[in-house]
């Protein structure tokens, strides 16, 4: 069976993807320097899939170590490159840290691919490349807007680096996946999102408020031009998202791609407001989320949701899980974390 390198494989989306890859029989090598994840994630992966992936604690920015890694784990067929920093606010404070980490690691992958004869790359991009789209739902052909943050810029530049590199060497191919807002956890509650420190993103803040780790959720603005005044996003179940990576890898390995670089939106096609998410979370889980409306957060886009038709038709992939089930899984994961913390 083919062997897949998953960089950032102990991270949130990475770990769920490793499970789905192993489920269909792929051999997986994870490279992660644990800068924003925990080694225990490997236990969760093994519990669910019954198989421990190979693991290498390496920073992808370290070219020499990555070169050795490819020597050791010979015959890698494809890379899924998740490893990156992803906090928008932090990227504004520490731009060089973001440019260095996110871009040097990608350049290293692209340089090492021909040396080690790896032809296929899946790249984690983001709907952030669209900024505030002029038309909704947004398609892959929508214009790329000036990035709102260094983080967003690393995704835009990353896409360009891939296109230019593959244009110069057409033996290689890449599938660029533009994620909307991933939420939820594995249905077993053995894997989920595990942010370090105070969460930046909505869902981990909601669950940590529900469990009592945070006093109150802040809702950033209720004066947007949306039905209830709060921002709208396309929240996509993380396991659905993970499955799209398996399909992308299979598509490349089976020579089904239509061009050397393909780009897909991964979203549900439905936009939900922050207040709708809170209300649904409360209803499906029977818990209250104390919240208050505070001023808008700098850099937030008012509304964005995907047109996922291209992924639906070309990849044969559709987001299946309902938002209700997804929000249940987030809560089950948070409760499982609390149980574990108590037992320690
Ligand atoms: N929000 C709150 N309170 C919070 C956190 C978030 O009201 O405590 C709101 C935000 O204002 C926004 C929505 O919830 O309207 C979603 O915010 P997130 O921070 O969860 O997600 P973003 O849409 O800002 O960005 C996320 C990731 C980025 C990624 C982007 C698009 O953080 O890394 O999705 O993929 F680029």
What's the DSSP call for residue 58? -
Among 12, 130, 151, 224, the one annotated catalytic: 151
Residue range 103-109: mean pLDDT, rounded: 98
pLDDT in tens, 84-99: 999 988 999 999 999 9
Which residues does ligand 1 sit against, CB inside 6 Å?
Answer: 86, 88, 126-128, 179-181, 200-202, 205, 217-220, 231, 233, 274, 297, 300
Please report the pLDDT score of residue 175 as a whole number.
Answer: 98
Q: Is the pLDDT of residue 197 over 90?
A: no
Give the residue, by CA position, lying nearest to ligand 1 atom 20: 201
Token pair 């209250």 is found at 288
pLDDT category, 195, cuts 50, 70, 90?
A: confident
Please, which residues have CB within 8 angstroms of residue 75's CB and are 6 or more apart in sequence? Answer: 3
Please report the pLDDT score of residue 298 as a whole number.
Answer: 86
pLDDT category, 185, cuts 50, 70, 90?
A: very high
Asked if residue 76 lies in contact with residue 118, where contact means CB atoms within 8 angstroms, the answer is yes
Give the residue, by CA position, lying nearest to ligand 1 atom 3: 219
172 an active-site residue? no
pLDDT in tens, 60-80: 999 999 999 999 999 999 999
pLDDT category, 30, cuts 50, 70, 90?
A: very high
Handedness of CA 263, 110, 78, 86 (dihedral sign): negative
Residue range 167-190: mean pLDDT, rounded: 97
pLDDT in tens, 307-339: 999 999 999 999 999 999 999 999 999 999 999
* Residue 24 CB neighbour total at 10 angstroms: 12
Give the residue, by CA position, lying nearest to ligand 1 atom 5: 202
Please report the pLDDT score of residue 196 as a whole number.
Answer: 82
Cα of 246 vs centre of ligand 1, distance in Å, is 26
Asked if residue 236 lies in contact with residue 267, where contact means CB atoms within 8 angstroms, the answer is yes
Token pair 């983080």 is found at 151
Of the residues 123, 241, 297, 306, which should be mutated to test ligand 1's pocket, given the most ligand atoms within 8 Å of the CB? Answer: 297
């Amino acid at each position: 069976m083919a062997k897949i390198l998953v960089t950032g494989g102990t991270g949130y989306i990475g770990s769920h993807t490793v499970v789905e890859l192993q489920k269909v029989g792929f051999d997986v090598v994870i490279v992660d320097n644990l800068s924003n994840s925990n080694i225990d994630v490997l236990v969760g992966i093994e519990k669910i899939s019954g198989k421990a992936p190979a693991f290498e604690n390496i920073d992808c920015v370290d070219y020499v170590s990555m070169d050795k890694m490819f020597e050791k784990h010979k015959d890698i067929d494809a890379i899924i490159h998740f490893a990156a920093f992803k906090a928008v606010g932090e990227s504004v404070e520490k731009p060089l840290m973001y440019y260095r980490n996110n871009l040097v690691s990608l350049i290293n992958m692209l340089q090492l691919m021909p040396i080690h004869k790896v032809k296929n790359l899946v790249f984690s991009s983001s709907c952030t490349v669209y900024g505030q789209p002029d038309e909704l739902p947004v398609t892959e052909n929508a214009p790329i807007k000036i990035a709102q943050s260094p983080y967003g810029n690393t995704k835009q530049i990353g896409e360009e680096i891939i296109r230019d590199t593959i244009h110069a060497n057409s033996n290689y191919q890449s599938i660029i996946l533009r994620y909307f807002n991933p939420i939820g956890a594995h249905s077993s509650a053995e894997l989920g999102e595990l942010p370090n420190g105070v969460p930046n993103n909505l869902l981990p803040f909601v669950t940590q408020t529900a469990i009592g780790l945070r006093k109150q959720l802040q809702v950033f603005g209720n004066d947007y031009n949306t039905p209830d005044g709060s921002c709208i996003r396309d929240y996509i179940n993380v396991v659905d998202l993970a499955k799209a990576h398996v399909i992308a890898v299979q598509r490349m390995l089976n020579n089904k791609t239509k061009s050397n670089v393909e780009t897909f939106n991964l979203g549900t096609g439905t936009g939900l407001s922050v207040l709708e998410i809170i209300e649904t979370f409360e209803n499906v889980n029977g818990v209250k989320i104390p919240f208050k409306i505070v001023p808008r957060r700098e850099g937030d886009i008012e509304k964005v949701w995907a047109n996922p038709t291209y992924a639906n038709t070309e990849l044969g992939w559709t987001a299946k899980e309902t938002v209700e089930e997804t929000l249940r899984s987030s809560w089950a994961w948070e409760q499982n974390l609390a149980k574990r913390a108590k037992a320690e």
